[in-house]
Amino acid sequence: MSHAFMTRVLSVTTGAEERVADLTHDCAAFLRETAQGRDGLLNIFVPHATAGVAVIETGAGSDDDLLAALRTLLPADDRWHHRHGTPGHGRDHVLPALVPPHATLPVIKGRLELGTWQSVCLVDTNVDNADRQVRLSFLG
């Protein structure tokens, strides 16, 4: 395998409630092993139709604010044509149009180049599927 492209799949359990799961430490650990001081790009991809990746502040209420905003924009009610699963599950299938299932971020000298308050997060509103995969890929 080339050292220019490395990939790893994380398993993340999000639980039975909507959740914003901080992946920043997992991303940093992956880069320590793979980037080895090089510049490049980190791609984070969620291969699920009902989850997304966001770069936001966490721990100061922004993650809860994001979930509240998504509940306002995508209410869990019977308006959705996609109707299997728990009531309102169709909204979970619209989520990736607002919170995309991927992000590509700069890596400088082997470290994720985030702003002071930025974190890489998995956004999961689907309470029917608590087991998620997140693919991390470094190109450098």
Per residue in 70-79, pLDDT (tens digit) is: 999 999 998 9
Decide if pLDDT at 2 tops 70.
no
pLDDT for the residue numbered 4 = 86
Burial code of 102-115, b = ≥16 C-beta within 10 A, e = fewer?
Answer: ebebebeebebeee
Q: How many residues can be counted in the chain?
A: 140
Q: Please state the rounded mean pLDDT for residues 106-121.
A: 97
Instruction: Please provide the average confidence, as pLDDT, over all residues in the chain.
Output: 94
Looking up tokens 């966001």 gives 54
Q: What percent of the chain has pLDDT over 70?
A: 99
Q: Helix 62-73 crosses helix 90-98 at what angle (to 10 degrees)?
A: 120
CATH number of the CATH domain containing 102:
2.60.120.460
Please tell me the distance from the alpha carbon of residue 131 to that of residue 30, in angstroms, as a whole number: 20
**pTM of the prediction?**
0.93
Q: What pLDDT was estimated at residue 1?
A: 45
Domain that holds residue 114: 5-139
Reply yes or no on whether the pLDDT at 47 is more than 50: yes
* Overall number of domains in the chain: 1
